Structure 1
Amino acid sequence: MRLSWNEIRARAARFSEEWKGVTRERAETQTFYNEFFQIFDIPRRRVASYEEPVKGLGDKRGYIDLFWKGTLLVEHKTTGRDLKKAKIQALDYFPGLKDKELPRYLLLCDFQSFELYDLDEDTEVRFRLADLKDHVEAFGFMIGVQKRTFKDQDPVNIEASELMGKLHDALKESGYDGHDLEQYLVRLLFCLFADDTGIFEPKDILLDFIQNRTSADGSDLGSRLNELFEVLNTPEDKRQKTLDEDLGNFPYVNGALFAERLRTPAFNAAMRLILIEACEFKWEAISPAIFGALFQSVMNKTERRALGAHYTTEKNILKLIQPLFLDGLHEEFARAKALKRGRQQALEALHEKLGQLTFFDPACGCGNFLVIAYRELRALEQEILRVLHDGKDQRIFDVAQLSKVNVDQFYGIEIGEFPARIAEVAMWMMDHIMNNRLGLSFGSNYARIPLRTSPHILHADALEADWAALLPPEKCSYVFGNPPFIGSKFQTAEQRRQVRDIAKLGGSGGTLDFVTAWFLKAGEYVQHGKADIAFVATNSITQGEQVAQLWPLLFQRCKLEIAFAHRTFAWGSDARGVAHVHVVIIGLTRRDREWPEKRLFSYADIKGDPVETRHKALTAYLFDAVNVADRHLVVEERNTPLCEAPKLKTGVQMIDNGILTFTTMEKEEFLRQEPEAEPLFRKYIGGDEYINGFFRWILYLADAEPSFLRQLPLVQERIRQVRQYRLSSSRPSTVRMADYPTQVGVDERLSGPYLVIPNTSSERRDYVPIGWLTPEVVANQKLRILPDADPWIFGLLTSGMHMAWMRAITGRMKSDYMYSVGVVYNTFPWPDITEAQKQKIRALAQAVLDARALYPGATLADLYDPDLMKRELRQAHRALDAAVDKLYRGQAFANDRERVEHLFGLYEKLSSPLTAAPKPIKRKRKKE
């Protein structure tokens, strides 16, 4: 029977009365603590021992007065002795303890004075024996009730997952596998958590049951655990009267968690010890939100090698749910709390509202978004209840009747059965943690056992499932989550079909990322309700060609507007050297219920904290739409320039599988064997080589006489290999090139210096390093090339104006800029310019080149590093920027945002049908 805090306080008062005036240490100490433990209905000898030997500092052996391994260390003194020295003495024991034995709590006592330290939370409570009843909640940890501040990078979450991984591997290697293993692990997870957090009472009865009621060789452990699972699934009044007393101490749990009959696993001694080790772990410390994803990773040894890489930090989850609903609810709470009239009614109405909200994550995985959303909603509810009942005797409340928020307000869809079940358990775990916190606030020992309500987690493919059947859209408040990131090139045929069917773009279905299918399906779903949407997505959906494919569907077909957004930042975990994914967060609302202000969060550093700005409207490129009417404008990829401009091309694509490509060392070795081939080698440069100041070589054979090539057997062998490689291709165009093995791909025969633009460049640079190459150098497909370019064009393209356009609309590789011909160059609005203005730009462009030439030993990477950029070069660029800006308008631009807004206005005019501009690109499916 669960003790109420009122009963515990009454016992504490009786204990204080019985022990007042006692001062002797040795004679009475053990009786004192035996009776102290009975306040909480815990037999002391079951969990703690007296005079535990341990090596202290200097290898001196000492004896801990009372020790509950992993939980509590007590140092007891005669009344009036200095407790400061007692604390020093107690802490001296710590180096001699094993990690799993280290206690979270330290109690110093002299019969009449108590000092309790929470070493994890760095808090302390001091009181006199007579006041024990008023401070007894501080000992809630003895019955599994305690406060815990969860931390994103707390290694305890990883350690717990590794323990589950050991258990998983041992069971799997024994032949216990598949669905039964997954369900078995989820059950054990719940039981381990329950044993430490007050769901099972008294604390550690699971550990006691396994240690003392199963054989050391593990032979009966599987059958005994199955007995336990049956008990947990059976109400107390339906159990056999002859049931084992130890099993009868476990509560009825229900919640469908223990309903299914599973095969009985065969444990051995080693496997039993692994489970005991897991039982001894401090499960109250884990975060259900983070641990769920880590727990899932134990099922895959490859993922486990990077354990910690796959969970989403709480900080990042909050970036989505705070602007979606939490901030608004907290603002409502602040307004209601500040009322002088009608305050009680307003707070009660808000509390009622919290109990009516519904939350839907259609890609919920292990439930981390749902768990954190539930935690935050319960935390807000607790604040409301505290204000509503301030000044009242909180001990008279039935806490179970106070809370209106429950896990059945939360819905999810998950394609994997194992993570779906983890999500359910994680929600129950978080529910129990929040019930504990509410109980502590109102002086009650509160646990929702048996589990009468459950989160609604559907095991299904979200892109095939009927969302409305799970949660009717008119009953849904918020749709949110973190759908899978898979680029169009990496999708399976089935995934591409799903995206194509949902997007309804026709033809090849475009180049949309997999995550966009959730945006579109959510957009259609909310047309029948009033829910707002927020998803994490790859930043590619706000850049490059995807913008023109996706956003007209969201803006026009789904009638949505951007309510808030986070610009590109790093998503994921900092654990164990994990590479970051670069993402955006997009919040969407129906156009007929627009938010009065749109919130935009921008990052100076993708790993730093954002700066928030407020706007009337936001564009798909995540910047302010000064003219609200322009907020739906998207830039469409084009195959010809929007203005009268020279055609930008792509460098040579070598269809040779590296056969004709050489490093300097490889070239020297080749020439050592066939020196006559030296005239055939030409420098070969791509974007990386151009920026970082190195080059490779190719055998350039297009101009070579056949009679000369016939004299070079090693060159002929390379030609033969190229021919064979092309013949083996599945692409007809490559096979056709096999007839011309001495030719590279598309080859511009350049006669003079030509302008080059690297395809990719670091986002740190203020300017993409643009420059010139001479015709004897072959530029590959990683460079854009502009033959016969006038120097004034170099000045325009390297200007801040063009850079601002590029940054706003180009695609990215991670966070690096990808300079696209069709999206950036061909869509750029060129200025009207006179010959005199061209001459001025030429001179300023030459000044940039002259400033570079002052440092002949520096690479472009050196010169354009924002931390290293020389004063002369920066000043030359700024002078050029100012001159180019004046080509567009007389008034100076304050920043890049103003430049982009101006360019978008020009783009809208130039791309209007009335201008008869060239049509945008229409992609055809490539035949393989």
Structure 2
Amino acid sequence: MNAVEIEAAISDLALLPFDGQEFPFAFLAAFGNKETAIKRLRSGNNNLSDVPGGVLQRNNIHIAVCKAGSVSETLKALRASPATAKAKAKFILATDGQTLEAEDLATGETIAPVYPDFPNYLGFFLPLAGIATIKEIKDNPVDVRATGRLNKLYVELLRENPDWATEERRADMNHFMARLIFCFFAEDTDIFNGEGLFTQTIEQWSERDGSNTHQLLAEIFRAMNIKSGDRGICEPRLPNWANGFPYVNGGLFSGSTDAPRFTRMARTYLIHAGNLNWKEINPDIFGSMIQAVADDEERGALGMHYTSVPNILKVLNPLFLDDLRAQLEDAGQNERKLLNLRKRLAHIRVFDPACGSGNFLVIAYKQMREIEFEINRRRNETHRGSDIPLTNFRGIELREFPAEIARLALIIAEYQCDVRYRGQKDALADFLPLSKENWIICGNALRLDWLSICPPTGTGVKVTADDLFQTPLDQSEIDFENEGGETYICGNPPYLGSRDQKDEHKSDLKALFDKRIQNWKSLDYVAGWFLKAADYSIKTQAFTAFVTTNSICQGLQVPILWTEIFRVGCSIEFAHTSFRWANLASHNAGVTVAIVGIAAQPRNPRRLFSLDTSGSTVERQCMHINAYLASGESVIIDKASHPLSALSEMTFGNTPIDGGYLLLSRDERDALGLTQEQQHRFVRRILGSAEFIRGLERYCLWINDQHLAEALTIDAIAQRVHHVRSVRLNGGKTARDIAERSHQFQRMFFGLNSTLIVPGVSSESRPYLPVGYETSETVISNLAFALYDAPLWNMALIASRLHLVWIGTVCGKLETRYRYSNTLGWNTFPVPLLTEQNKADLTACAEAILLAREAHFPATIAELYDPEKMPANLRHAHERNDEVLERIYIGRRFKNDTERLEKLFELYTQMTASAVAQPPKKSSRGKK
């Protein structure tokens, strides 16, 4: 469940007649607990409560329903309950159906609303659903509640008005919703003369069955498009009840005033939405949630389109806000310096070329207004109007509705800032009518000329426009002069990995990259925004920072994208290494992202941010940041066909291309009916990543040519070989080429004495990369890498923290898991020249790791390397291995991963600069 669904569920629960026996279970169901879990609690099997009327869910909450007037005493009993502590409950809750009290046991925070109002504390309870508490939602859940109300209204209106759901009328429907949002906000903030004017008018003058609601709305909208002086002569005449609405203009109510028809339920949803307190709406987060309402594909993820303010500030602060605050600090009470800073603020342009519903622009605007107010306060000019124009906050958005919401969110933000910093009277005096200037462009950002939308300093752009809320595609619509100003580009462009891109996305990237670089088809879609920003920055001296998938700073995408960006003339000015960009989905940690800031003339020192083990942000200043978001020169790691250091060759395991007929489970192996001698001759254990890490048992047919005739006398084997041949004959060229030896894998490689196995994919939570030592009887599949007959000291290198850090930086990831690459990770791994004593010491370390694992047989690699359960002797063996290896590199242990990476990149640069590559080593792997 997501936050919107949870809010709807608890709101419905609060409206039902109170049932003391049912409440605990209904409450838990509202937070996403499955019926099976609730059934076990009902039966008492999982209910460990020791409080009368109590229901205790382990690791979650202890609830008790009590008699009237004893809520506080019951909450005290829950707090003191031994069962609460033993079950590690995070919350306690007591209610009598009239009042409700609850406590977060981790923070000590408590709430005590009357029972019908407990849904107002949605943010307090969200951790019960596995959703991290977010300050904006915890303090004020109206954004979530408003999203839910509008979604219900939207769905009901489309059900009653299917023609409004068509492509031809979808824009009308979205424009209608924007009008409603403005009316809800305006009636609660004195923009309309009279609190609740809009909702009360609908409630008073519309029929209960909703039959004339669309007519009332049409008249209200018409009124807000007629100036007061013209209302006496307009035709048809406005009804008296509509005359109370002010003239708004700005294009929001121009054009058609048509409204969809309402049912009784739709009218109810409309009134319920209006009864919320829209005064407290957060335009910086509301927009990203409401945009999902109007998108059929996104509505299933309703409420998850939340971009937290702290995450956005990870972009905006180092991009330009930190500098503004530093200048404010330096200005002190000096009026001249304060005036210069205020002039600077007035000429800063913030440009989001993938603005969605405007989150980045709104937050940038609010932060700048806060700084401007502090300037005015120090200059004793607190009632002064703002010099920061909304038109300096420019954006591009592909879809019309989010673009419309972005404009509306900025208008709301401006009004809220005026109220806060200038007072309600001055804010109202300047608010209406709305301006017709438009600064959010609807179009494809990768196809548009950014210079025409956010032109260089001192360049004017003027294209006539009808109004603010009806944007001609691809056109700027303000006369924009910004002499002496700065431009900061920011945002969270769409990611879309190469496999997820549709034809139109590939076409966009082709138009940008095709004549400039090769292999562009492997790039994430977000790469297009970086290249456009780099080109723009060279011409405008702009600074850019985007949230991006961390994959563009890892693996194969680095040499493709960053070589071109560096060639253009841009450098990385600041970066935030990988972190989770969370949303409001239950138990959903969100996507792993990075933040990268680029500029043609980067400011020094460069700033590199990361999260420490406690989750706190740590800043490091350095001279250079490379494309892997590590301190160091702009080195690019290219694939190498053989190790650059004196290491053994690593290759893919064996590929079956068999339709599954050469592979066997234990039962399938036994069903072959082989003698022990035949089984030894024709069957081998096979390991891929999953089999090695999780201890899964799998086998394969492994038939040497000299044994083929004998193998084919066994019907079960002959049938499998026949099926393999059929699969290959009907496959691609590679499969057809090996169809005549369908008793074998594509390759038949194995170690004569031993094999080291390295999984192709491994969990990012493990403190070390899994690597194993196998006998010559084990086959390695193509889902893992193999080093055949390699000296054991190679294992010590792979199992080290140094190698894990290198792989995590240069190889890329599959989702968040480590994705190994022999050509990028192993062959490029910088290793100093090892003495025979070094190799002996590392061999001893590898043996110690293997012995430590053996002591815990039959524990699997997954169990042994669980970070919370890793055995002490195994951890000690790895730490000893790290100490021995790191002393070879620098004579001591590295202080942290940052220092490790710096040394590795330094060595790699030396290795490649010398242009002396080691010749490929001949493999000693067996082949028969």
> What amino acid maps onto 2:797 in structure 1?
L
Q: Note if 1:589 corresponds to 2:599.
A: yes
Alignment of 1:249-648 (within 5 A): 249-261=244-256, 263-300=258-295, 303-336=298-331, 338-339=332-333, 343-389=334-380, 397=383, 402-440=385-423, 448-452=431-435, 454-474=437-457, 477-503=487-513, 504-509=515-520, 511-557=522-568, 559-591=569-601, 594-605=602-613, 608-625=615-632, 631-648=633-650
Work out the percentage of aligned pairs sharing the same amino acid.
33
Contact 1:199 / 1:447 at 8 angstroms: preserved in 2? no
Task: Give the 3 Å change call, closer, same or farther, for CA 372–287 of structure 1 in structure 2.
Answer: same
Task: Give the 3 Å change call, closer, same or farther, for CA 604–436 of structure 1 in structure 2.
Answer: same
Measure the CA separation in 1 of the matches of 2:565 and 2:538. Answer: 11
1:634 is displaced (CA, Å) by: 1.5
Task: Give the 3 Å change call, closer, same or farther, for CA 314–890 of structure 1 in structure 2.
Answer: closer
| Cross-structure match for 2:906 | 905
Query: What is the DSSP-based 3-state SS (H/G/I as helix, E as strand, rest coil) of the residue aligned with 2:288?
Result: helix
1:587 is displaced (CA, Å) by: 1.2
Measure the CA separation in 1 of the matches of 2:69 and 2:848. Answer: 74
Contact 1:500 / 1:508 at 8 angstroms: preserved in 2? no
Measure the CA separation in 1 of the matches of 2:270 and 2:801. Answer: 63
Contact 2:750 / 2:779 at 8 angstroms: preserved in 1? no
Measure the CA separation in 2 of the matches of 1:93 and 1:751. Answer: 72
Task: Give the 3 Å change call, closer, same or farther, for CA 918–202 of structure 1 in structure 2.
Answer: farther
1:156 is displaced (CA, Å) by: 3.0
Structure 2 runs not aligned, ≥5 long: 1-66, 71-97, 102-110, 126-133, 458-481, 921-928
Measure the CA separation in 2 of the matches of 1:783 and 1:149. Answer: 44
1:472 is displaced (CA, Å) by: 0.7
> What amino acid maps onto 2:623 in structure 1?
K
1:716 is displaced (CA, Å) by: 5.1
Q: Deviations over 1:47-101 (max 9, x none)?
A: xxxxxxxxxx9599xxxxxxxxxxxxxxxxxxxxxxxxxxx9999997475779x
Q: Deviations over 1:593-612 (max 9, x none)?
A: x312221111135x923111
Measure the CA separation in 1 of the matches of 2:179 and 2:424. Answer: 30
TM-score, scaled to structure 2: 0.77
1:571 is displaced (CA, Å) by: 0.5
| Cross-structure match for 2:477 | none
1:737 is displaced (CA, Å) by: 4.5
Measure the CA separation in 2 of the matches of 1:748 and 1:681. Answer: 15
Measure the CA separation in 2 of the matches of 1:762 and 1:651. Answer: 20
Contact 1:424 / 1:454 at 8 angstroms: preserved in 2? no
Measure the CA separation in 2 of the matches of 1:667 and 1:366. Answer: 58
Query: What is the DSSP-based 3-state SS (H/G/I as helix, E as strand, rest coil) of the residue aligned with 2:586?
Result: helix
Measure the CA separation in 1 of the matches of 2:351 and 2:262. Answer: 40
Measure the CA separation in 1 of the matches of 2:863 and 2:100. Answer: 57
Contact 2:142 / 2:276 at 8 angstroms: preserved in 1? no
| Cross-structure match for 2:808 | 807
1:464 is displaced (CA, Å) by: 0.5
Aligned length: 772
1:243 is displaced (CA, Å) by: 2.6
Measure the CA separation in 1 of the matches of 2:489 and 2:259. Answer: 40
1:619 is displaced (CA, Å) by: 1.8
Q: Deviations over 1:140-184 (max 9, x none)?
A: xxxxxxxx9943785432221121111111221122222221221
Query: Mean Cα displacement is larger for which, 150-159 or 199-208?
Result: 150-159
Q: Deviations over 1:681-702 (max 9, x none)?
A: 4322222321222232334456
| Cross-structure match for 2:185 | 193
Contact 1:412 / 1:458 at 8 angstroms: preserved in 2? yes
Q: Deviations over 1:799-855 (max 9, x none)?
A: 344334333322122332222111111112232233343333323332232232222
| Cross-structure match for 1:162 | 148
Measure the CA separation in 2 of the matches of 1:537 and 1:444. Answer: 37
> What amino acid maps onto 2:204 in structure 1?
N
> What amino acid maps onto 2:691 in structure 1?
E
Alignment of 1:2-13 (within 5 A): none
| Cross-structure match for 1:222 | 214
Q: Note if 1:172 corresponds to 2:158.
A: yes
> What amino acid maps onto 1:186 in structure 2?
A
Query: Mean Cα displacement is larger for which, 301-310 or 344-353?
Result: 301-310
1:768 is displaced (CA, Å) by: 0.9
Task: Give the 3 Å change call, closer, same or farther, for CA 624–240 of structure 1 in structure 2.
Answer: same
Contact 1:152 / 1:314 at 8 angstroms: preserved in 2? no
Q: Deviations over 1:662-694 (max 9, x none)?
A: 4445656x5589999966543222223212222
Task: Give the 3 Å change call, closer, same or farther, for CA 99–790 of structure 1 in structure 2.
Answer: closer
> What amino acid maps onto 1:173 in structure 2?
R
Query: Mean Cα displacement is larger for which, 631-640 or 739-748?
Result: 739-748
| Cross-structure match for 1:868 | 869
Measure the CA separation in 1 of the matches of 2:297 and 2:423. Answer: 42
Q: Deviations over 1:623-649 (max 9, x none)?
A: 222xxxxx1111111222223433210
| Cross-structure match for 1:926 | none
Query: What is the DSSP-based 3-state SS (H/G/I as helix, E as strand, rest coil) of the residue aligned with 1:575?
Result: coil
Contact 1:407 / 1:454 at 8 angstroms: preserved in 2? no
Alignment of 1:31-180 (within 5 A): 58=68, 95=114, 97=116, 150-151=136-137, 155-174=141-160, 175=162, 176-177=164-165, 178-180=170-172
Measure the CA separation in 2 of the matches of 1:847 and 1:673. Answer: 38
> What amino acid maps onto 2:260 in structure 1?
P
Query: Mean Cα displacement is larger for which, 782-791 or 831-840?
Result: 831-840
Contact 1:651 / 1:747 at 8 angstroms: preserved in 2? no
Measure the CA separation in 2 of the matches of 1:445 and 1:587. Answer: 38
Task: Give the 3 Å change call, closer, same or farther, for CA 713–853 of structure 1 in structure 2.
Answer: closer
Measure the CA separation in 2 of the matches of 1:273 and 1:673. Answer: 74
Q: Note if 1:683 corresponds to 2:681.
A: no
Contact 2:225 / 2:254 at 8 angstroms: preserved in 1? yes
Give the greater-gyration-radius structure (CA).
1
Query: What is the DSSP-based 3-state SS (H/G/I as helix, E as strand, rest coil) of the residue aligned with 2:773?
Result: strand
Measure the CA separation in 1 of the matches of 2:666 and 2:99. Answer: 68
Contact 2:354 / 2:396 at 8 angstroms: preserved in 1? yes
Cα RMSD (Å): 3.5
> What amino acid maps onto 2:190 in structure 1?
G
Q: Note if 1:838 corresponds to 2:824.
A: no
Measure the CA separation in 1 of the matches of 2:745 and 2:380. Answer: 80
Task: Give the 3 Å change call, closer, same or farther, for CA 219–817 of structure 1 in structure 2.
Answer: same
Query: Mean Cα displacement is larger for which, 324-333 or 344-353?
Result: 344-353
Task: Give the 3 Å change call, closer, same or farther, for CA 712–910 of structure 1 in structure 2.
Answer: same
Contact 1:483 / 1:535 at 8 angstroms: preserved in 2? yes
Structure 1 runs not aligned, ≥5 long: 1-56, 61-87, 105-118, 121-147, 626-630, 920-928
| Cross-structure match for 1:247 | 242
Query: What is the DSSP-based 3-state SS (H/G/I as helix, E as strand, rest coil) of the residue aligned with 2:149?
Result: helix
Measure the CA separation in 2 of the matches of 1:707 and 1:170. Answer: 71
1:432 is displaced (CA, Å) by: 2.0
1:497 is displaced (CA, Å) by: 3.6
| Cross-structure match for 1:824 | 825
